[in-house]
Structure 1
Amino acid sequence: MDKKKKLIIFLAIALSSFAVDIGSKLWAQKAVAQKYMNPDSQSSFSINFNLAFNKGSAFSFLSGVSGSRWILTVINFFALGFIYYLYRRKESEDRIFLIGLAFITGGALGNMIDRIIFGHVTDFIQFWGFKSVKMMWPWPTFNVADIVLVIGVGLMLIYSFRADAAEKKDKKKTVKA
């Protein structure tokens, strides 16, 4: 893949993910009531919109720590630097690897900008589930950035497993030769 095509694919996915995340957060801040919404009692699984402001990271980790906003922002900058390093490597010629990196970049930027500007990350999507197995619990509230981060990490795992399988196959060929 040539450098221009690689850059276009990366930027299109990263910036689209970022824009959808920021747009959805702005919508949530205006449209979603700031009260806890209980799921429909007849449903065994439901999705609700519940506006929440997370001062920590995933699962509110570090939310009670003084200075967590800046600690997490610095970690985010290092993560983006590492993503740039990975982008420059040969592996990023692989489409799955490149698309995974782009999704991770879009999600990381969305949450980082939120944290820098507002001091927290805006979350608003919440699942409730599995009443049928006597386990009615809410999953932690999250946002679009979190979704694209998970998609990106999933794609990176797929790439990793695929690369490992190809490496093992090459080693077997070398041993037989």
Structure 2
Amino acid sequence: MLKSLCPKRFSGYLGLAAWVLLIDQISKHWIEAVFEMHQIKTIIPGFFNLTLAYNPGAAFSFLADAGGWQRHFFTGLALVVSAVIVFLLKKHQAEQRYATALALILGGALGNAIDRMIFGHVIDFIQVHYQSIWFYPAFNIADSAICIGAALMVIDSFKKDKQANHE
């Protein structure tokens, strides 16, 4: 009976990745349709804005001014990583926290890869800040899913270490 549940579990994690991808793409297309470049809409004064920004680089605009090659490099990297994640997801589908982390990272990686393939940059729109003193770089739903997935992986590794020490 357990073996018959495994394909459903795997497809559920792929469904979570697809859900992240869908929400990410819908939110990016909505923000592009409604906002002008760098327009700011305050949601929570002194803390949270929506804004439209393009990032041709990686996290924190790393390599944004590298001349264009980074678009293909980061797209290829995301696709290779996504293939590895699908393999790991299939292999570790019974490990709920780890598989959820992989699914979130997969959906986020594909969401940003689609942006790079279609537009040559990633669409960012979430801006967190403290008053006018400190601004975190703009990000998107895909970035959030990747970060949450990475945090879950760290938590999972601590839980596994704790279990291994008890055994």
**Normalised TM-score (structure 1):** 0.85
TM-aligned CA deviation for residue 84 of structure 1: 2.1
| Residues matched between the structures, number | 163
TM-aligned CA deviation for residue 122 of structure 1: 0.3
Give the equivalent residue in structure 2 for 1:28.
31
Give the equivalent residue in structure 2 for 1:125.
126
Give the equivalent residue in structure 1 for 2:13.
10
Q: 2:155 aligns with which of 153, 158, 170?
A: 158
Q: Secondary structure at the match of 2:66?
A: coil
Take 1:26 and 1:38, find their aligned partners in 2: how far apart are those partners? 16
Take 1:35 and 1:117, find their aligned partners in 2: how far apart are those partners? 20
* Larger-gyration structure (1/2): 1
**Normalised TM-score (structure 2):** 0.89
Q: Secondary structure at the match of 2:38?
A: coil
Which shows bigger deviation, 18-27 or 76-85? 76-85
Identity across matched positions, percent: 34
Paired amino acid for 1:57 = A
Q: Secondary structure at the match of 1:122?
A: strand
Take 2:93 and 2:160, find their aligned partners in 1: how far apart are those partners? 12
Give the equivalent residue in structure 1 for 2:88.
86
Gaps of at least 5 residues in structure 2 are none
Contact 1:39 1:128 in 2 (8 A): no
Paired amino acid for 1:15 = A
Which shows bigger deviation, 143-152 or 27-36? 27-36
C-alpha RMSD of matched pairs (Å)? 2.0
TM-aligned CA deviation for residue 82 of structure 1: 2.0
Contact 1:87 1:98 in 2 (8 A): yes
TM-aligned CA deviation for residue 85 of structure 1: 2.8
Give the equivalent residue in structure 1 for 2:101.
100
